[in-house]
Structure 1
């Protein structure tokens, strides 16, 4: 989506606030002994209260309102009977629509007390996303996002999962300009136009390069297996740089 009118921006800010508040509330509600299905139910109730519709369900018939991925699961984890435990690395991805506008956000959390290695991975995952967001602005190269994230990851000994990319969003969950690499890609020559709405969502890992689909047909597992985090915001490009749309409030 390319925003050209103020009402479009208002609509994107509204659904951005909804998914951000839902993500924050789900993270706060997590506790050992809870199932991912119970956590998902909290997210569903919050979305419904705001008049929003789960995007994975609406667009892909996903079996859950949100995606909850635990430990070895990188993305698209199906909410179900899995019981959360102290020390689990949990990724929550919330995307939804309201009044025809879609927004997408996600973050990784350690349940309870994080180990030093877990804390560092989460801290660096968030930093990688922030570095990518800083490259967004009118007329700037799309490749700048992946170049900045890739440089950070390489310097710190991380890998990036290279078949899970950022993407355009706004009037649908995945749209123009299609996939946007969050790793260095020499063939990426496109420029960011003013008003373009996109996600920035690197998958930073301590060894995984690829995500493969599990037997359930949805859940993605890192290959080779290694801890992985994902942080995601929906942003809009302006002449003054990025504006983050998925902020709680």
Structure 2
């Protein structure tokens, strides 16, 4: 999507505020003993009360309102009834459609107290997202996102999961400009333009650069080690980008 009018930006911001608020509420309730399925039910209720719809369920028939991934599962986890435990590494991804606008956000965290190694992974992934967003400017190469993420990952001693990428969003969950690698691809000559709406969502991992799909057909796991993700929906401008989530 390309924002072309103030009311479009306002609509996108409303959708962004909704998914950001739901993510924060879910995280606040994600304590030891709570089942991901119960967190997802909470999100489903909040979406319904707001007149919104789950974007993955609407777009792809995902069997839950949100994606909740635990430990080895790094993305697209189906919320189940297994209680969370202290020390679990969790990712929650919330995306929704509200009044024709789609916004997408996500975050990783540890239930209870993170170990030093877990905290390093979380800090590096959040840094990669924030650094990539900070350098967004209309006219610059889209590949600057991957260049920045890859540089942070290398400096921090982690790997980029290459098959999980950022994407266009706004009037659909996934749209133009298509997939945006979290690694540097010198062949990618696409450029950012004013009003472009994209996600910035690096996935960093301790050992893996690719994921494998579990038998449920959705859950993506790191073959070795664990991974983390942080995501915002962002509007590109000629100046500082606008974060709507």
TM-score (norm 2): 0.98
Structure 1 unpaired stretches of 5+: none
Structure 2 unpaired stretches of 5+: none
Q: How far does residue 241 in structure 1 lie from its aligned partner after superposition?
A: 2.5
CA distance in 2, matches of 1:146, 1:30: 31
Which range moves more in the overlay, 53-62 or 130-139?
A: 130-139
Matched length: 245
| 2:162 counterpart residue number | 162
CA distance in 1, matches of 2:137, 2:13: 18
Does residue 113 of the first structure (1) align with residue 124 of the second (2)?
no
- Deviations, residues 143-168 of structure 1 (Å, cap 9, x unaligned): 11100111111122110100111000
Q: How far does residue 105 in structure 1 lie from its aligned partner after superposition?
A: 0.1
CA distance in 2, matches of 1:121, 1:157: 9
Does residue 46 of the first structure (1) align with residue 46 of the second (2)?
yes
CA distance in 2, matches of 1:64, 1:6: 33
Give matches, 1:1-249, under 5 Å. 1-223=1-223, 225-246=224-245
CA distance in 2, matches of 1:105, 1:169: 11
TM-score (norm 1): 0.97
State the secondary structure of the residue aligned to 1:96.
Answer: strand
CA distance in 1, matches of 2:135, 2:69: 28
Contact 2:121 2:158 in 1 (8 A): no
State the secondary structure of the residue aligned to 1:210.
Answer: coil
CA distance in 2, matches of 1:106, 1:21: 11
**Cα RMSD over matched residues?**
0.8
Q: How far does residue 136 in structure 1 lie from its aligned partner after superposition?
A: 1.4
Task: After the TM superposition, list the runs of 4 or more consecutive aligned residues in structure 1 that deviate by more than 6 angstroms.
Answer: none
Q: How far does residue 7 in structure 1 lie from its aligned partner after superposition?
A: 0.7
Q: How far does residue 49 in structure 1 lie from its aligned partner after superposition?
A: 1.5
Which range moves more in the overlay, 161-170 or 75-84?
A: 75-84
